[in-house]
Structure 1
């Protein structure tokens, strides 16, 4: 298939030949949901911890006598039914949230997201993206001239210091190399801008 390329003014310049299996396949919503959910789950550190009734600091004295008060019997205030008591089934810091996703499924999920971006016109290709100096206003002006006003993810084959430092103060801009693309960022950002060389690198990576 053919992907349209734009110039620095945001106008259609030419086209580039791309893989149909990567940019022209049918969108699989269930697969994309599974891949995105697994990616976010695998990023969890699992460091939350709660105390059980043995770990909380409470007196072991019986609050009141067993009978004769008219209240429910109680043994100690560390019981899970008491305010400030221990949890019945506490979360442990070694809890594992990871989900397994096969490599073939992961690549198919990324290809499905790329195809969705192309079909909705949210994927743009540029010949190259070069910034002369590490200045935020230069990159902001270049993106504005191309017609990017919303959140944009830039995939470039050569992430030099000027381009990287120019994007750090732009909260709606994310610049990555093809090896660092992830499904969450591709879904989260409204538009994706790729260099022509990055397209070829992604095709080799997801072939």
Structure 2
């Protein structure tokens, strides 16, 4: 298949397996959830009644004082332990390489079908100026949340987009499913397309 290059009469030949794949919502959902879970810290920790600081001596006599209670470290008391205390753990889910690449291809194919994937010959900025990037992006209809993908994103481009809360810049190595799914549209250079195709083929 061929991709139209914005602002040029040329077309870019690409693989149907990468940019013409059928969309698999289940696969994309699984990979996106796994990617987000892998970024979770998992450092939450609480104390059980055995770990909380305090004496485990019986708080009052067994009979004659109303309700029967043992140690004040029990979960029913303020300052006591937690019944099912959270402990540090990993939220990582296993996603093999074939599934991950297939999900990326599926997202790119769907973006292309919806007309939200725009290919340009090149995209860079001369100086690290936010105003310059805003003016350059105004020439494309990218929506409020554009994703810019280049073969090797320059420092000027990263710095220019840093103050724009909804504009993301990625190089091919840093491309991830969450960024692709969350973007209104993707602006990608021709060199980056070829590099993505080599990666996913």
Structure-1 separation of matches of 2:33 and 2:87: 22
Alignment of 1:27-106 (within 5 A): 27-71=23-67, 73-93=68-88, 95-106=89-100
| Corresponding residue for residue 4 of structure 2 | 4
| Corresponding residue for residue 142 of structure 1 | 136
Structure 1 unmatched ranges of 5 or more: none
The counterpart of 1:17, out of the listed 5, 13, 34, is 13
Structure 2 unmatched ranges of 5 or more: none
Cα deviation digits, residues 34-81 of structure 1 (max 9, x gap): 11111111122221111111222234343332122332x210121123
Structure-1 separation of matches of 2:174 and 2:107: 15
Cα deviation digits, residues 115-155 of structure 1 (max 9, x gap): 11111111111110121221111111110121234101111
Moved more, 160-169 or 177-186: 160-169
| Corresponding residue for residue 167 of structure 1 | 161
Moved more, 162-171 or 173-182: 162-171
Structure-2 separation of matches of 1:40 and 1:149: 24
Contact 2:142/2:184, CA 8 A, preserved across alignment: no
> Aligned residue pairs: how many?
201
Structure-1 separation of matches of 2:172 and 2:190: 12
Structure-1 separation of matches of 2:84 and 2:66: 30
Contact 1:143/1:149, CA 8 A, preserved across alignment: no
TM-score by length of 1: 0.90
Contact 1:153/1:191, CA 8 A, preserved across alignment: yes
> CA offset at residue 88 of structure 1?
2.6
Structure-2 separation of matches of 1:5 and 1:100: 37
RMSD, aligned CA:
1.6
Structure-1 separation of matches of 2:20 and 2:199: 17
